[in-house]
Chain A
Amino acid sequence: MPLSTASAPVSGADRIDLVRARALSIRRSAFTMVHEAQLGHPGGDFSAADILATLYFGVMRYDPSEPRHPDRDRFIMSKGHCTGAFYSVLAQAGYFPEAQLKTYMQPLSMLNGHPNRNYLPGIETNTGPLGHGLPVAVGVAIAGKLAAKDYRTFVLTGDGELQEGSNWEAAMAAGHRKLNRLTVIVDRNRLQQGDRTEATNALDPLDDKWRAFGFHVEMIDGHDHVALLDVLGADPDSRDKPLCVIANTIKGKGVSFMEDNVSWHHGVPTDEQFALAMKELI
């Protein structure tokens, strides 16, 4: 069966509206899960929500009824701790019922704190320890190139995560092999678990680093759906290099008291905070 993007019938302004609506519902869903579980990583869920909505409802080609279709576009969630947003987008894309989100991190749930490909459809590889997604994505992209398939491989990394050396082993290989159908998206929210990235182990100039490793680099506002659709939707055959999208984001984006506040890396809301947040997420 041929694959199409979930939003194939939608175009232009309607697509932008769809992505915007999905990004909002991902945030509401993820925060509800975190509130109910009293566990999770909501700051990173919110910084990644617009990227995930764009990929699943505007860019990627997949069929949730055939999650391991050989020609599917692959998405690898290297920042595997942000399962509130990731499980929400998978459920909304149709991989499993949204009702299952209520089991998030409950005993024996399939919705582990970090994603497991053997528990749920739509997950390509088990992540959680940082720096694992990009090497696997490079392997997926090499397999595609070997078989002359036209699927694309997307990987979303955190920014603090780029302090792991394995990413740069993989980046070197991707550049060397000119894996133009590979796209790395960096959720550049500038905060890691304990502090600002630049105060911990500075990443800037981050664009120069990726360029030096052989990537075409785009720096955009990671909450701008038009820019995300434009950059992620561009024809990969128009370049002969892998693409790195540095998505400048705000951790906790969408809830005023959470934005750019390191305590919301794995902070969980009180009932009052949850109610306040849901009033803002409309």
Chain B
Amino acid sequence: MSAATKTTEGLYDCRDAFSKTLEALAEADERVVAVVNDSVGSSKLGGFKKRWPDRLVNVGIAEQNMVGVGAGLANGGRIPFVSCASCFLTGRALEQVKADVAYSNTNVKLCGQSPGIGYGELGPTHHSIEDLAWLRPLANLVTIVPSDPWETEQAVRFAAAHEGPVFIRVSRYPVPALEHRLDRIEPGKAEVMRAGTDVAILANGVMLHKALAAAEALAESGVSARVLNMAWMNPLDVEAIVDAASTGAVVTVEEASVRGGLGGAVAETLALHRPVPMEMLGFPGFVPTGTVDFLFDHFGLTANGIADAARKAISRKG
């Protein structure tokens, strides 16, 4: 885990991997710049700013301009990483993301920081559980939801090398470093984290390690659960989703609204190609106040909650 720092024992804040990788890229390629909305601290870009003050473009609290400036910097030959809390990047500046970045097909890298309910007690204005649903229909916009520091580093490296728009969801919620079987992420491919035959659990972001824990618990009671890492929301690995249905039951888990995100994408795919009983875990609507862990527990986004959903999906098999 070259680019990660531990927060607590064995747990990592993916923003560290993001900022360290970006600094490494910036050192190697002067085209790499950062664009922020006074979000230097929350994007962990203090080190970047210190090393390259001119290449850290802080437009102040002005997200529409921030995304437009990103598109303009790309026009001028730069590789801009536009970094800001995901709620404001995708909510406030959605039309700029659509027109200036996705539709214009510009070489802009959008980094949605602290997505989902990362801001816990601050409430739904600062939660970003809608971002995936808002971005998923935007053609050209490669969308990645990394699960741990390694995958975050890989996503940032991919983004810099890819000619075209990318959105990366960068989590602050502490996660363990997971075991990955590949040296590098495969664009558009779901990663099989665990083989299984009774049910398939499709998860991404900070939910992936919880899905793996659920699979472990299910195994103890004799249930064989496949776990897929669905980091790639766009392009979506349709083949892997259809194959997951061969288990006869599917569960999706995401730190996002259950409407329109990963669950929606998987449901659309299964309905078109191979309908099977399905359970969707996520947030049903605006989320009440609480710590992040309280809220995950409250909405069943825990190993136990995921295992329960898996058993329910299995019980619905015909």
A142 and B69 contact, CB distance less than 8 A: yes
B104 and A144 contact, CB distance less than 8 A: no
Chain B residue contacts of A173, Cβ below 8 A: 59-60, 62, 65, 69
A135 and B68 contact, CB distance less than 8 A: yes
Would A144 and B76 be within 8 Å (CB), given that A129-B95, A172-B60 are in contact? Answer: yes
Chain B residue contacts of A124, Cβ below 8 A: 75
Chain A proximity of B103: nearest CB distance (Å): 5
Q: Does A233 contact B (CB under 8 A)?
A: no
Would A137 and B72 be within 8 Å (CB), given that A126-B104, A169-B59, A169-B62 are in contact? Answer: yes
Q: How far is the CA of A126 from the CA of B67 in the complex (A)?
A: 14
Number of interface residues of A (CB under 8 A): 33
B99 and A127 contact, CB distance less than 8 A: yes
Interface SS of chain A: helix
A132 and B62 contact, CB distance less than 8 A: no
Q: Does A141 contact B (CB under 8 A)?
A: yes
Chain A residue contacts of B100, Cβ below 8 A: 125-126, 132, 135-136
Q: Does B73 contact A (CB under 8 A)?
A: yes
Chain A residue contacts of B95, Cβ below 8 A: 129, 132
A118 and B75 contact, CB distance less than 8 A: no
Chain B residue contacts of A172, Cβ below 8 A: 60, 62, 65
Q: Does A97 contact B (CB under 8 A)?
A: no
Chain B proximity of A182: nearest CB distance (Å): 10
Chain B proximity of A180: nearest CB distance (Å): 16
Would A138 and B60 be within 8 Å (CB), given that A125-B100, A147-B76 are in contact? Answer: no
Number of interface residues of B (CB under 8 A): 31
Q: List residues 61-113 of chain B with CB under 8 A from any CB of chain A.
A: 62, 64-65, 67-78, 80, 95-96, 99-100, 103-106
Chain A residue nearest to B93 (CB atoms) is: A166
B70 and A139 contact, CB distance less than 8 A: yes
B76 and A142 contact, CB distance less than 8 A: yes
Q: Does B54 contact A (CB under 8 A)?
A: yes
Chain B residue nearest to A138 (CB atoms) is: B69
Q: How far is the CA of A271 from the CA of B174 in the complex (A)?
A: 68
B73 and A142 contact, CB distance less than 8 A: yes
Chain A proximity of B33: nearest CB distance (Å): 7
Q: Does A278 contact B (CB under 8 A)?
A: no
Chain A residue contacts of B69, Cβ below 8 A: 135-136, 138-139, 142, 170, 173
Chain A proximity of B186: nearest CB distance (Å): 27
B65 and A169 contact, CB distance less than 8 A: yes
Contact of A146 among B65, B78, B103 (CB under 8 A): B78
A132 and B68 contact, CB distance less than 8 A: yes
Chain B residue contacts of A142, Cβ below 8 A: 57, 69, 72-73, 76
B60 and A146 contact, CB distance less than 8 A: no
A139 and B73 contact, CB distance less than 8 A: yes
Would A169 and B64 be within 8 Å (CB), given that A70-B77, A135-B96, A143-B77 are in contact? Answer: yes
Q: How far is the CA of A126 from the CA of B165 in the complex (A)?
A: 14
Q: Does A140 contact B (CB under 8 A)?
A: yes
Q: How far is the CA of A134 from the CA of B75 in the complex (A)?
A: 13
Contact of A135 among B67, B77, B78, B105 (CB under 8 A): B67
Q: How far is the CA of A41 from the CA of B245 in the complex (A)?
A: 52
Q: Does B55 contact A (CB under 8 A)?
A: yes
Q: Does A128 contact B (CB under 8 A)?
A: yes
Chain A proximity of B100: nearest CB distance (Å): 6
Q: How far is the CA of A137 from the CA of B75 in the complex (A)?
A: 9
B73 and A143 contact, CB distance less than 8 A: yes
Contact of A125 among B75, B77, B78 (CB under 8 A): B75
Q: How far is the CA of A273 from the CA of B99 in the complex (A)?
A: 35
B76 and A126 contact, CB distance less than 8 A: no
Chain A residue contacts of B104, Cβ below 8 A: 116-118, 125-126
Q: Most chain-A CB neighbours within 10 Å: which of B74, B76, B77?
A: B76
Q: Most chain-A CB neighbours within 10 Å: which of B68, B70, B73?
A: B68
Chain B proximity of A135: nearest CB distance (Å): 2
Q: Which residues of A contact B (CB under 8 A)?
A: 70, 74, 116-118, 124-129, 131-132, 134-144, 146-147, 149, 165-166, 169-170, 172-173
25 contacts between A and B (CB under 8 A): A70-B77, A125-B71, A125-B72, A125-B75, A125-B100, A125-B106, A126-B104, A131-B64, A132-B100, A136-B68, A136-B69, A138-B65, A139-B35, A139-B70, A139-B72, A140-B76, A142-B72, A143-B73, A146-B78, A149-B76, A166-B65, A166-B96, A169-B59, A170-B68, A170-B69
Q: Which residues of B contact A (CB under 8 A)?
A: 33, 35, 54-55, 57, 59-60, 62, 64-65, 67-78, 80, 95-96, 99-100, 103-106
